[in-house]
Structure 1
Amino acid sequence: KFVEFMFHKVTVVLLLMFGFQNNFHSQSKQDSLRYWKLKSLYGLNGTQSSFVNWNAGGKNNISLIGSISASAYFAKDQLNWSTDLNIALGGILYFDPEQNNPIQKTDDRIDISTSYGVKFSKRYFISFVQGFKTQFVKGYSKPTDLNFVSRFMAPGYFNFALGTDYIKDNNFSIFASPMASKATFVLDDSLSEVGAFGVLPGQKNRLEYGAFFKMKYNKVIMKNVEMKSKLELFSNYTNNPQNIDVNAELIFVFRVNSLFTSSAQWNLIYDDDINIRDANGNVGPRTQFKSVLGIGISYKVENQKK
């Protein structure tokens, strides 16, 4: 009870403090774009396949994935503020004359994170980190299923953490916090009733306290080849702390020219509170893995401090 009370109080105080400071600095006349590094990438990847008397078989289909990746990095005096936004939505549509196949979702994510820190040593900051993750539309285990297994804010994740941040530049940072909280929301009656995503049956949220680690590393490997990576770890102090939640992402962007790009993305997730049924009918926590390869058009906007 005491730990929960202290976490609530500290979170409220930090939100008020950082909200006030952010508002103050945003209104300061001394602030200008020279303190900011802004970058955004808008992409649309797609594929189309058609078959006529094709002996090996196949179904006519078309797929599209739209994505936005944006970041804002502010540094002035002893203050540092960075925000990252990553959203994507995509699906594949099969054209089958014998049956009306639904659209199958291939990508769906909303991922927003922000960090506000005060420098206490060279490249070291006391930082407050917040994160939010969810999805746009309903998700189904199989295309033929009528009952969905996820939707917007079911689940939704909020992370809050106070800790030490090592920031080399806006492309590399390591954050570690012994004082973190993770809130899971399942704002759908049918999913909360069965206790989906780790909430108790009938409950729509779950709060955990523990330790949090985050590493971000972006690099231009060579001309027209960029890598972006992120690793997040969370350990619940009171419930199987040895079973660490993992969220990892690795993206390569290959730029053909100013308009056309290809990309390769891998995501790995392990959450000890999420039970998944395997092919043999066994239910339990599983390592989730996703890979997406695509080629399409993109538009990049960038404001980099020289």
Structure 2
Amino acid sequence: MKFQILLILFCITSIKSFASDYKHLVARDTTATDTTATTAKDTTNTDSMLIYWTEKNTFGVNLSEVAFVNWNSGGNNSVSALFYANFQRNFEKDYTMWKNSASLRYGINAQEGREIRKTEDELRINSSFGFRQDSTSNWYYSGKFSFNSQFSNGYKYPDTEVAISRFMAPGYTFLGGGTEYSDPVQDLTVYLSPVTFKSTFVLDQRLANEGMFGVEPAVTDELGNILREGENVRTEFGFLVTSGYSKEVWENIDVNNQLSLYSDYLNKFGNIDVDWQLAVNMKVNEFVKANVGTHIRYDDDVKFKEDTNGDGKLETSGPRVQLKQMLGVGVVYEF
């Protein structure tokens, strides 16, 4: 132990001595100025790289509230809230472009005499990388990755005992390559990918056994005993087309349109999965904004559950067009 302490003290003393000698040496050496210049130059290069990066962060909340006191028409007191955040990190230099974005949304509704219910739940991450042949072309050779799922359990209200969806049940990833048209003046992008892998994750085994969201269901015997568990992942290979468009149609009013179309080569080619979002955003002032929008989805692999015969049990039915309409006014902070 004493030897270890002495060794440590010797090392500390040696380091101090070396540092002192080096300090005097640098003071006498004229190349020290060049070293400082090099450091300054490296810092300048690092700062110059930052100008190719752009970022945008948005946090917002939409609130609505209705309260009744001796209201002869009747009604229930209710409060609704939608929390959302968007993050963008984009890089563009010469012939290279790299775009990254993340979108988080979660909404709740509380009514008098009823449990809190979820109204919206979304987690999306997108990343695309592309390069072009010259500085005048708007066409890029591009690769794209996207992921989307949800944060918490979904229910067929008023039943809150059995979840019909969870985080990563389903979860979707798209990974592919193709070409992208990007017009910075019109704020228009069109992406075409003839080679896209789509993976559907159902990590809740009960939902996987039921074959929800297109995965292979469990194999059972005549008594319903499971002989083989359902698959948790389904992989598809197909064609993907996405389009994004944003335009200010009037002062402080802009329209944003996002469309995604996918078709699997190996399973019912021509049967198209649709994901279409249209939003109109209206700016009241720097912090207050209003928005109205629609979200349409169709996926042949998404089956729906409902009580068709009134026995209290949910039966699985076929796919349907999913429609969501949104209207909100709230506070938004961007930086």
TM-score range, shorter chain: 0.7 to 0.9
More displaced stretch, 163-172 vs 84-93: 163-172
Confirm whether residue 162 of structure 1 aligns to residue 162 of structure 2.
Answer: no
Q: Which residue of 1 aligns with 2:40?
A: none
**In terms of Rg, which structure is larger?**
2
Cα distance in structure 2, aligned partners of 1:78 and 1:30: 20
Confirm whether residue 128 of structure 1 aligns to residue 143 of structure 2.
Answer: yes
Q: CA deviation at 1:260?
A: 1.1
Q: Which residue of 2 aligns with 1:232?
A: 260
For 1:57, what is the secondary structure of its paired residue?
coil
Cα distance in structure 2, aligned partners of 1:153 and 1:69: 20
Q: Which residue of 1 aligns with 2:242?
A: 214
Unmatched tracts of structure 1, length 5 or more: 1-27, 302-306
More displaced stretch, 41-50 vs 55-64: 55-64
Partner residue of 2:288 out of 260, 270, 278 = 260
For 2:153, what is the secondary structure of its paired residue?
coil
Q: Which residue of 2 aligns with 1:192?
A: 208
Cα distance in structure 2, aligned partners of 1:53 and 1:204: 53
Q: Which residue of 1 aligns with 2:57?
A: 40
Cα distance in structure 2, aligned partners of 1:79 and 1:228: 25
Cα distance in structure 2, aligned partners of 1:254 and 1:33: 31
Confirm whether residue 296 of structure 1 aligns to residue 330 of structure 2.
Answer: yes
Q: CA deviation at 1:71?
A: 2.1
Partner residue of 1:283 out of 305, 312, 317 = 317
Q: CA deviation at 1:52?
A: 2.7
TM-score normalized by the length of structure 1? 0.83
Cα distance in structure 1, aligned partners of 2:279 and 2:55: 19
CA contact (8 A) 1:90 1:107 kept: yes
Cα distance in structure 2, aligned partners of 1:31 and 1:266: 41
TM-score normalized by the length of structure 2? 0.76
Q: Which residue of 1 aligns with 2:37?
A: none
Cα distance in structure 1, aligned partners of 2:298 and 2:259: 12
Cα distance in structure 2, aligned partners of 1:145 and 1:180: 36
Partner residue of 2:278 out of 250, 260, 267 = 250
Q: CA deviation at 1:211?
A: 0.4
Confirm whether residue 87 of structure 1 aligns to residue 115 of structure 2.
Answer: no
Confirm whether residue 107 of structure 1 aligns to residue 141 of structure 2.
Answer: no
Q: Which residue of 2 aligns with 1:271?
A: 299
For 1:286, what is the secondary structure of its paired residue?
coil
Q: CA deviation at 1:156?
A: 0.4
Cα distance in structure 2, aligned partners of 1:128 and 1:148: 35
Q: Which letter does structure 2 place at the counterpart of 1:249?
A: Q
Cα distance in structure 1, aligned partners of 2:129 and 2:190: 13
Cα distance in structure 1, aligned partners of 2:75 and 2:285: 32
Q: Which residue of 1 aligns with 2:30?
A: none
Q: Which residue of 2 aligns with 1:10?
A: none
Q: CA deviation at 1:120?
A: 2.8
Q: Which residue of 2 aligns with 1:4?
A: none
Q: Which letter does structure 2 place at the counterpart of 1:187?
A: L
Confirm whether residue 181 of structure 1 aligns to residue 215 of structure 2.
Answer: no
Question: Which protein is richer in strand relative to its size?
Answer: 1
Q: CA deviation at 1:90?
A: 0.9
Query: Which whole-Å deviations, capped at 9, do the CAs of 1:89-146 have from their partners, x for residues lacking one?
Result: 01101122xxxx2211111100111100011351111101000000011111113331
* Count of residues in Structure 1 that have an aligned counterpart in Structure 2: 270
Q: Which letter does structure 2 place at the counterpart of 1:39?
A: K
Q: Which letter does structure 2 place at the counterpart of 1:158?
A: T
CA contact (8 A) 1:104 1:143 kept: no
Q: Which residue of 2 aligns with 1:69?
A: 86
For 2:88, what is the secondary structure of its paired residue?
strand
